Amino acid sequence: MFVKNSSKKVMGFGKTVILPGESGELPEGFDESHPTVNFYFAKGWLEKAGRENATADAPAESTPADADAEIKQLARMNLEPLREKAAELGLEWSESDTRAKLVALITEKLTSNG
C-alpha cells in the first residue's frame, strides 16, 4: 500500500523510512490492521496515496530549502535509516561507520548538488 507521510516526523516501518511530505510503499506486514499504521491513520499523520502520487515515481526539482529540511531530518535518524539513505544516494559506507560519519557523508552529498 502506498502512503504519504503528512506529519513533520520521519516515519519508519521495518526497514522502510518515509520522510515528511514524501510517499512510499509500506512493506509486507504493515497494512491498515497493523497497530502503528492504524494509529498514524487515526491521527492524520499518514494518508493513502496512489502510485502516481509517490515521490519515487514523480521526482520534484530539489530546492535549497528542501535540502536544508532533509539535512535537519538526518540529525534525527537512526543508524539503519541513514545507511539506507546513503545507499539510495550511491554513497559507499561500511558497517563500522558511525552515525555521525554517515550524517556527514550524506550532508556532503546533498550540499554538493549531486
The 8-class DSSP code of residue 89 comes to T
The string of pLDDT tens digits covering residues 30-55 is 988 899 999 999 999 999 987 654 44
Above pLDDT 90, what percent of the chain? 30
Predicted confidence at residue 65, as pLDDT, reads 61
Sign of the alpha-carbon torsion through 36, 1, 12, 73: negative
pTM greater than 0.75: no
Using CB atoms within 10 A of its CB, is residue 30 exposed (0-12), middle (13-18) or buried (19+)? middle
pLDDT band, residue 18 (cuts 50/70/90): very high
